[in-house]
Structure 1
Amino acid sequence: MPIVTIIYILTNVAYYTVLDMSSILASDAVAVCAMALIYLTVQDVFQLINYYSFSYWFFVGLSIAGQIYLRWKEPDRPRPLKLSLVYPVVFCLCTVFLVAVPLYSDTLNSLIGITIAFSGVPVYILGVHVPESKRPPFITALLRECFSPSLTLG
């Protein structure tokens, strides 16, 4: 009995969280409305995961390719762990697969993911490479607020 009561209460909490009062009063099937809204929200979350996943594997592949490049250009550089080149090459090939397949099968969403990832480049350029005298005032104020020495943890 307590388990059924808890499930019933949590179900009602979920309805009130997802739907507003007018939707609950206007609907004959509150559960159907709530589940439709949850389904649409979950679909949006999966879409965001697809955007992130494409960009994630793209940049992981680039970083592994950079390590392979450094092993080739600077073979005598001291490294804490030195593995055979087989592992990074196989891993890099896997990331190429994880990037190429979505790019081919879902080009539009892949391009949206790339655009989202590269949308931070202007912020990086304004915050790091543009001299403070030429930077827009709101960027300078934001950087001072975010990175002031008075901020301490704990």
Structure 2
Amino acid sequence: MLESPAVAVLFANKLFGPFAFCMPLFVACSTIGSANGVIFTSSRLFYVGAREGQMPWVLTMINKNTRTPIPAVIVMGLLSLAYLILSKNVYSLINYIQITYWLAIGAAIAALFYLRKKMPDAPRPIKVPLVWPAIFMCGCAALVVIPIMAAPKDTAIGLMIMLSAVPVYLIFIAWKNKPKFVENLSTSFTVVVQKLFMVVDDSKEE
């Protein structure tokens, strides 16, 4: 079993016999369902970030009928495809994702310590001793450092994909005094997206 590339298929061959072909189908359905959920939930992070002024304004757009943030969903799907295309195999894909995921989680935990110090009297419905976040943060650090040591090339690619957001932020968010042609290009792109996906700006009242 340790030498098998697909343990579930080996298990199905032993247990189900001629019906073992069902196992890859079940795995595929589970994978598609998981990817669907991740794309639709993670795209909301882009949507909320855009509403807070931290991402391009076009990501605040939602479909006027379904109330779905279609531009944010498409961006999330394109990023997922980028990871898939750049990966040589599933292990490389895991390395790409792992470092960016645990860096983000670690940053969120670090923010907890910062807010505890800067806003000690802020109302908190749930408040846990800081020892537990500290232990969890050590685990996050280990899950970041170990892939860097084991697969530096894969983790570097994952970091490059993550850092590709920096020029987007600098151009579309931090750069306030843009030349006129950049403003016109951004406006034209936003109008095309609105017409193509039938989306409107959710941050404005109707």
State if a TM-score over 0.5 links the two structures.
yes
Instruction: List runs of 5+ in structure 1 lacking aligned partners.
Output: 8-41
Instruction: List runs of 5+ in structure 2 lacking aligned partners.
Output: 1-17, 22-86, 201-206
Tell me which residue corresponds to 2:199.
Answer: 151
- Bigger relative CO (Cα 8 Å, ≥ 6 apart): 2
Q: Does 1:118 align with 2:166?
A: no
Q: Which shifted more, 138-147 or 58-67?
A: 138-147
- Give the Cα–Cα distance (whole angstroms) in 1 for the partners of residues 124 and 188 of structure 2: 40
Q: Which amino acid aligns with 2:172?
A: G
Q: Which shifted more, 51-60 or 119-128?
A: 119-128
- Look at both structures and tell me which one has the larger radius of gyration over its CA atoms: 1
- Give the Cα–Cα distance (whole angstroms) in 1 for the partners of residues 178 and 171 of structure 2: 11
Q: Rate the CA distance shift 1:147–1:124 in 2: closer, same or farther, 3 A.
A: farther
Residue-by-residue CA offset, 1:64-91 (whole Å, 9 max, x unaligned): 1111121123211222211111221111
Question: Equivalent residue of 2:122, what SS?
Answer: coil
TM-score normalised to structure 2 length: 0.47
Q: Which shifted more, 137-146 or 97-106?
A: 137-146
Q: Rate the CA distance shift 1:147–1:130 in 2: closer, same or farther, 3 A.
A: farther
Tell me which residue corresponds to 1:142.
Answer: 189
The alignment covers a number of residue pairs equal to: 117
Report percent identity of matched pairs.
Answer: 32
Question: Equivalent residue of 1:82, what SS?
Answer: coil
Superposition CA RMSD, Å? 3.3
- Give the Cα–Cα distance (whole angstroms) in 1 for the partners of residues 91 and 193 of structure 2: 31
Given that 1:132 and 1:140 are in contact with CA atoms closer than 8 Å, whether structure 2 keeps it comes out as no
